[in-house]
Amino acid sequence: MTTQRQIISNPIRNFILFPILWIGHLFYTLCVGHWLFGLAGGINSLPNGKWTRLGGIDWAFEIPLFTPGSYFLTKSNIGPCMWAGSIWSLLFLGIASILIIIATGQLIQKIVNRNNSKFGRFYWRLIVLILGWTFIPVPVEMTLTYTFTVLC
């Protein structure tokens, strides 16, 4: 019986790959979400460039796994910004982010190590990747970009 040498081991995945993926996903979410918010008409600048109007739209784009947390963040009684958000919104956003990073890191590890079972039982990694890296149109109150540009 031969053992296959792992190129990416579990400690390398947990301590090197996960933080890189978390930072990359954070920048991806912020940059693409802001660009899509402007594309939907949520950011309008006057021709002279001195004034910018934010909001004024009914729908925008958000990552599906972030919609519950961003909705609770917008509807929190404490305040609309992340530092004043409810514990439920932070919990939902944190769980979604961790789930996305774990699924992405495990898939990268399995592809590099040439493992046969890449997507897991019931294709859960593939489902999490699709729901965690794509944007869908939702009501504008359910987006993090709306929370940070219009409400803050």
Residue 152 has pLDDT above 60, yes or no: yes
Which tens digit of pLDDT belongs to each residue from 98-145? 999 999 998 988 888 888 788 878 888 899 999 999 999 999 888 888
Q: Where are the domains of the chain?
A: 11-43+56-151
**CA dist., res. 59 & res. 50, Å (int):** 26
Radius of gyration for the chain, computed over Cα atoms and rounded to the nearest angstrom? 19
pTM over 0.85: no
Q: 13: number of CA atoms within 13 Å, CB side?
A: 18
